[in-house]
Amino acid sequence: MEVEPIQELSLRINQLYNHPDPTTKSTANQWLQSFQKTNEAWLTSDLILKSNESSLESKLFAAQTFRSKITFDLDQLHQPQRIMLRDSLLTALSFPSIASTKVLLIQICLALADLSLQMPEWPTVVSDMITKFGKDPATVPILLQFLTVLPQEIMGNSKIRITNEWSSTQSSTLVSDTLSMYLSAQGLTNPIKTQIFICLSAWLRAGEIMADSVGTPSNLNFIFGALEDDQLFEPAVDLIVDLIHETQEIDDNMQLIERIVGCLITLKPRLIQDREDPDKMRGYCRIYVEAGEWYTPLILRLSKGLRQRKDDQTIKQLVEIYANLVETIIRHLHYPDDLDSQTGQENDDFRRFRHEIGDTLKDCCHVLGAPVCLRRSYDIILQSLSDSNAKWQDIEAALFSMRTMGAEVDEGEDEVLPLIMDLIPKLPFHPKIRYATILVLCRYTEWTNLHPAGIPFQLQYISSGFEDQSSEVKLAAAQAMKYLCRDCAKHLVSFIPQLFTFYQTVSSTLNQDDINEVTVAIAHIISAMPLPEASQAMVMFCMPLLEALQIVLNQNLPGSKELYQNLRDKFERLEIFLSVVKNFNGQLPIECFKTLEQSWLIIDGILLRYANNLKTSETVCTVLRRGLDFFGSLCLPLVPSMLDRLTISFQDSGSSSFMWITSKIVTGFSENRDANLEASIADAFEKQSGYVLPIFRSASSDTISDVIEDYIHLLTSMIENYPECLICSHSFKASFTILLASLEFLDIRILSTSLNYLREIVGHSSLEIFEPSSAATTKQRVVGRISEISGTQKQPPSAPIGFKRKLSQPIRELIGQNGYLICDVLLRRALDENFPEDLVSEVILIFKLMSENFMHSKNNNNENFQNLSGTSDNSTKSFGGGRFDMNVWIVGCLENMSERNLSLREEKRSLILSFKESVNQLGLTQGLTSSCNLGDVGEVGKRNGVLIKELILNLIKICKKERERERARERFS
């Protein structure tokens, strides 16, 4: 290598580290990244690394270059050169200037480790390194560094393919014996001890050595003893935690676990001594948490007899520990005395802490039993009530603990909970206590369902919470009312008259969120009622809301913020009733139609006057959606009127909600069709399309994404339920431009909806091809779905074939005009790194369907694959009046995008060439003549589909792999 290139490299490195100009730094960085990919980088890095004149920055770059090239470009070296590279790196490690510089030592050890894992000819790497560097105390740090990074690279470097079968029982034993020998050696410095601990942790985490080989009595004494040394504390904690983690197979490691637990017990004096040192207490906490998590099955196994052996004095001590822990946790749950002085952040932190420590309280319940823990909380409240100096915090903390224990309390508990419920009327009327009490009732509603005697008092207590001045208490009351009515619905049916009066009273005083919770509660009770009474209750609760809407209409007020909010509040409550009560399995009596008709007249008037407010129109459409589900077929006479109003409202407001609800109508009444309904749906679709298309042409697609998404939903509903209304309409072809645009979106919802609609088009059942009825064969064949019907073989009727042809012709013409564009956008998106992986299979399925259903014919005057222009005009071919050639589109798109999107690596070029050859071998470029058997068309399509599927999958894998390589190079650089 000439001196001048090395000087230029040194100059670029100096610019990267020291030049003040960011542009110069960036240019230097790009140059260095490009240099690392060259073949010359091997020798240049070796010269720099071993030169005494090279700067630290230059040597570091050389070491990093070795690691990068060993990871990504090792195929540039043949086997003899790899051995020379290994020897050169081993020599570099012996240089004092490198061994004494930590950052260089780490990088070269990483490079050597990565190289060794890819050298099957070096199976003795561990023993060789121990022999070379493990005998001289001066070179032991080199060995320890290498032995540390070797298992780390095995676990963490997914960019290399490990081909060296170096791992063996002998290697693991050699490593553990060597490191244990070092631990017992005299005169070890703290840095060496630290490195030994780190190395042992690395091998444990990689699973390359057994825990019992590390956890020998002498090693454990040394490791736990290291906790007394401030310099060794953290690495010792890490090693202990890793050792405990590796003993999680309790039965296989029982002897070692006993030794570890013994060492944990001996730490008790240290806990007392270091309790004021937060860093050390955090380390001790890590150790005990790790032991608690992994030894939980053992603890539970040993705790099973705690309550049965209560006379055992040893067991009593353990039970008392957990019992005391319950009281300790409850004390920690106390609100601070100076609550008003707390900042918002402090309040948030305290609330978070309460819920986290509550998990420990649940564990205590599991060990002691819920009745024991509940009794502790109950006794605290009793004691506080009898103490005139007690604070509200004492009672509130005990109530909070009761709520937290709820998950561990059996619904049939009859020992303590009845006492608690009897105690509630005696509690003070402090807002915090009322809030906590109401939430206790909320937590135990399932228990209350089995103990309904207390429902009247609970209902009264919760209802009184709505009269409290505290918004927090009102919120708790709303939540408790919802769960009480949901879980105890059958017991509350008789309370409906009182609840109606209560509901009317609080409707004007509660905020919208709270009244919505109460609405949910009432709706749960109605859903538990038999049908006649339930329908009457629905009318009783919903009619006042409808009457309030009618009053707004009669006032004929201009739109305002307050008016729109009032409308939305009423509609939200209607929506809750409809969604919670459901539709009684479609058994609503015909008398309900009158209520439905009245409701629609009011909604129709609201839309006529106020549809321009987008939020209001969205809420109204949600109510319509629930109403359609609730009333079902009773809505049929009103559907034409609904569609007219929705279409007009969409044209007036531009709100896509009206298209969304139109698509729900299309889907919901696909089985109840008649001529009038079908005509109404077709008319609504045509008119709404006529409004969408101009919007799309005049606005940026990303500014009307909601309109596009809901329109694609409407298109999908049409093709799935009323295909003839869509495919035979003027909007079918015009709307395809919107579909192509929607495929460019990043939003996964829009993408998924668009791909689903495209799949419905290219795989539509009308594209299935049948043998004509006069054919000699009696086999039924379908393109892409060829099957022989054994036993009875029958011809498909002629009428459906005519109907299918009526639909298939527009589809074939549409795909013939847009096939190249479809392939182009799908390929670009599927190969893009931002494309959702969940949708790749959908793209492949679309390609498969297109390849099966859109083949070229012999009468096309096809150019061969070598003369592809890749343009949409020259890449489309004719077939039966349409113009399409799937294979030509695919290859044309790939060749056109290779300069823009795909790497120019040879494997991608060869992939395209292999596809062309496969197509030629199958005879797919020779065309399909009129004499072709239609079954042969299907077979050819299936073979073509397999080829294209393999092509797309391979392309995606290649592009993904290339992106990962480039990102990894950037990180290494």
Please give the pLDDT value at position 759.
Answer: 96
Q: What residue spans of 118-253 are helical by DSSP H?
A: 125-133, 140-156, 169-184, 190-206, 211-214, 217-225, 233-245
The answer to whether 801 and 856 are in contact (CB under 8 A) is: no
In which band, very low, low, confident or very high, does the pLDDT at 955 lie, cut at 50, 70 and 90? confident
Is residue 318 scored above 80 in pLDDT?
no
pLDDT of residue 876: 37
Query: What's the pLDDT score for residue 165?
Result: 78
Q: What's the confidence (pLDDT) of residue 702?
A: 67
Please give the pLDDT value at position 401: 95
What confidence score (pLDDT) does residue 921 get?
A: 63
Residue 970 is predicted with a pLDDT of 66
DSSP for residue 274: T
Question: What pLDDT score was predicted for residue 772?
Answer: 42
By mean pLDDT, which of 468-472, 722-726, 926-930 is the weakest?
926-930
Which residues make beta-bridge pairs with 882? 879
pLDDT at residue 51 above 70? yes
Is the per-residue pLDDT at 241 higher than 80? yes
The stretches of 885-933 forming alpha helices (DSSP H) are 886-897, 906-921
778 pLDDT exceeds 60? Answer: no
Q: What is the pLDDT of residue 884?
A: 54
User: With 50 as the cut, is the pLDDT of residue 871 above it?
Assistant: no
Mean pLDDT across 762-767: 90
Q: What is the pLDDT of residue 770?
A: 47
Q: Is the predicted pLDDT of residue 793 greater than 90, yes or no? A: no
919 vs 233, more confident = 233
* Confidence bin at 1 (pLDDT 50/70/90): very low
Which pLDDT score, from 0 to 100, does residue 774 have? 35
pLDDT at 866 over 50: no
Strand, coil or helix: 794: coil
Confidence of residue 607 (pLDDT cuts 50, 70, 90): very high
pLDDT of residue 861: 38
What confidence score (pLDDT) does residue 223 get?
96
Region 312-321 average pLDDT: 72
879, β-bridge pairs: 882
| Strand ranges for 352-489 from DSSP E | none
Residue with more model confidence, 967 or 111: 111
**Which one is predicted more confidently, 793 or 216?**
216
Compute CA distances 714 → 151, 297, 719, whole Å: 56, 55, 9
Closest of 125, 256, 137, 279 to residue 195, by C-alpha: 137
Note the maximum CA span of the chain. Answer: 104
Q: Is the pLDDT of residue 372 over 50?
A: yes
pLDDT at 531: 84
pLDDT at 612 over 80: yes
Given a cut of 90, is residue 80 above it in pLDDT? yes
**pLDDT score of 859:** 39
Question: What pLDDT is stored for residue 551 in this prediction?
Answer: 96
What's the rounded mean pLDDT across residues 596-608? 95
Beta-bridge mates of residue 883: 878
pLDDT of 784 higher than 70: no
Please determine, for residue 947, whether its predicted confidence score (pLDDT) is greater than 90: no
Average pLDDT, the chain: 85
CA distance 205 to 245: 9
What region does 861 belong to: left with phi over 0, alpha with psi -120 to 50, or beta? left
Q: Is the distance from CB of 886 to CB of 819 less than 8 angstroms?
A: yes
Tens digit of pLDDT for each residue in 651-694? Answer: 999 999 999 999 999 999 988 778 899 999 999 999 999 999 88
Mean pLDDT of all residues in 565-571: 96
Q: How sure is the predictor about 960, in pLDDT bands with cuts at 50, 70 and 90?
A: confident
Instruction: Taking residues 189-202, report their average pLDDT.
Output: 95
Least confident of 220-229, 357-366, 554-563, 739-748: 357-366
- Decide if pLDDT at 322 tops 90: no
Residues 6 or more apart whose CB falls under 8 angstroms from that of 917 comprise none
The token duo for 300 is 């539970």
What local confidence, expressed as pLDDT, does residue 771 receive?
40
Lowest mean per-residue pLDDT among 175-189, 348-362, 892-906 = 892-906
795 — pLDDT class (breaks 50, 70, 90): very low
Distances from the Cα of 197 to the Cα of 128, 151, 328, 443, 457, angstroms: 22, 14, 36, 49, 64
Question: Residue 487 above 90 pLDDT?
Answer: yes
Q: Which two tokens stand for residue 230?
A: 């401030």
Q: Please give the pLDDT value at position 883.
A: 45
Residue 853 has pLDDT above 70, yes or no: yes
pLDDT class of 140 with cuts at 50, 70, 90? very high
> Within a 10 A sphere around the Cβ of 279, how many other Cβ atoms?
10
Strands (E), 435-494: none
**pLDDT at 909 > cutoff 50:** yes
Using DSSP's 3-state secondary structure scheme, residue 305 falls into coil
User: Can you give the pLDDT at residue 426?
Assistant: 94
How high is the pLDDT of residue 905? 52
**Residue holding tokens 């309280």?**
361
Residue % of the chain over a pLDDT of 90: 61
Domains and CATH numbers, the chain: 12-18+43-123 (no CATH), 531-655 (1.25.10), 760-774+797-972 (no CATH)
Class of residue 483 by CB neighbours under 10 A (exposed 0-12, middle 13-18, buried 19+): buried
- What pLDDT score does 922 carry? 58
Q: Region 229-247: what's the mean pLDDT?
A: 96
**How many Å is the Cα radius of gyration of the chain?**
38
Is the pLDDT score of 780 beyond 50? Answer: no
Residue in this structure with the two tokens 């606005």, named with its chain if needed: 699
